[in-house]
Structures are given as C-alpha cells and as structure tokens.
Amino acid sequence: MWDLYFFISLIITGYIFGQIHERRHYASIKRREEETVQMVMTSSKHPMGDLGPIKDAKLVQGGVVISVDYFKRIVTSLRNFFGGNIRGYETLVDRARREAILRLKESCPDATQIINLRLETSSIYKGKGNQIGSVEVLAYATALYT
C-alpha cells in the first residue's frame, strides 16, 4: 500500500513542479515578447514598406529543444488511447516555437527588419512506443540592416 502512496505522491510532485516550470517559462516568454514587439518581422520574402538602401543582410537563426515532463507523457498516453486534443504537446510546441522566434530576434537586436521567417520542427527523442520526449524548433530568417 505504501508503494501506491509513494507512486501517487511522486506523480503529484512531478505535476506541481512541471506546472511551476511551465508557468515561469511562459512568463519569461511574455516579458521578452513585450521587449521585442517593436521589431518588424514577416514571413514574406519582401521587406515591408520602403526601407531605403539596405546596407547589409544576414541569415539569422534561433533554436530550442524543449522536453515534455513525465506527468504530461502519462496523460498523453491516456489521451492517445481515448482520442482527442493533446494539450500537453500543444503547450510544448507553442513554448518551443515562441522561444525559437525570441532567440532569433535576440540574435539581431539592431536589425531594421526581419523577413522570410521560417520554422522547422522535429522530435529529438522517441521513447517506448514512439512517445515524443523532446521537440526541437529552429527559426531562421533574413535580417535587414539599413
């Protein structure tokens, strides 16, 4: 019986710490997005507006690898069995995508405009039964300097 209590307490502890970490990461993302909101960025291949003469153009990138916590992996296994949206992985991919874009913006703080934004997503590790363990997102674009 104690083994069951111990297992349940570990699951609850993992859930609590996972939620705390995810909330902190989202708070960090939100703060940094507010700091870089003025940077003009588009997925278009052409600059927005008239920039005048472009002095330099550089390929910039930002990448991140984020792992799913063990509790979400358990819940996801149940969701796969019954079907439906897998919110645990949705938040994982959302955090990874937003973090990669932020890292890209932070790599070129003096850019006038960032164009041709592209995102690549892949799973890094597949555990038992091809469960996703980590997600990698690479954001790359062209930074224009005037």
Mean pLDDT, each 10-residue run in order, the chain (146 residues): 82 82 92 91 89 91 85 64 69 91 94 94 70 83 94
pLDDT computed for residue 117 by the predictor = 96
DSSP string, 45-93: SS-SS---S--EEEEEEEEEEEEPPHHHHHHHHHHHHH-S--HHHHHHH
pLDDT computed for residue 55 by the predictor = 93
Q: Which CATH superfamily is domain 2-145 in?
A: Hypothetical protein apc22750. Chain B (3.30.110.70)
pLDDT computed for residue 28 by the predictor = 94
pLDDT computed for residue 1 by the predictor = 76
**What gap in Å lies between CA 138 and CA 117, rounded to an integer?**
10
